[in-house]
Amino acid sequence: MIKHIVFDFGGVILDLDGVHTGYPDNLAVIFNISIEDAVAIWSENKTAVMTGKETPKEFLARIKNEHDFNFNLEEGINYWEEQNIIDESRIDWELLEHISELKKRYQIHMLTDQIQLQNGASSWIDKVDMHFHTILRSYEQGFRKPFPESYQNLLQKINAEQEPMSVVFIDDNKANIDASNEIGINSILYTFKDHDLLKNTFKELGIY
Q: Domain of 172: which CATH number?
A: 3.40.50.1000
Provide φ and ψ at 44, rounded to 5°.
-80, -20
Asked if 127 and 58 sit in the same domain, the reply is no
Residue 8's contacts (CB-CB under 8 Å, 6 or more residues apart) are: 110, 111, 112, 169, 170, 171, 172, 173, 176, 190
- What's the total number of domains in the chain? 2
CA distance 73 to 86: 22
pLDDT for the residue 88: 87
Asked if 68 and 98 sit in the same domain, the reply is no
Asked if 104 and 200 sit in the same domain, the reply is yes
Task: Enter the pTM of the model.
Answer: 0.93
pLDDT for the residue 112: 96
What count of other Cβ atoms lies within 10 Å of the Cβ of residue 72?
11
Asked if 42 and 101 sit in the same domain, the reply is no
Asked if 186 and 93 sit in the same domain, the reply is yes
| Consecutive H or E run containing 27 | helix 23-31
Burial class (CB in 10 A: 0-12, 13-18, 19+), 170: buried
Residue stretches of the chain with pLDDT short of 70? 18-21, 118-122
Domain ranges, residue 45 = 23-83
Asked if 109 and 9 sit in the same domain, the reply is yes
Burial class (CB in 10 A: 0-12, 13-18, 19+), 44: exposed
State which of 49, 83, 117 marks the end of a domain. Answer: 83
Asked if 51 and 29 sit in the same domain, the reply is yes
Asked if 72 and 156 sit in the same domain, the reply is no
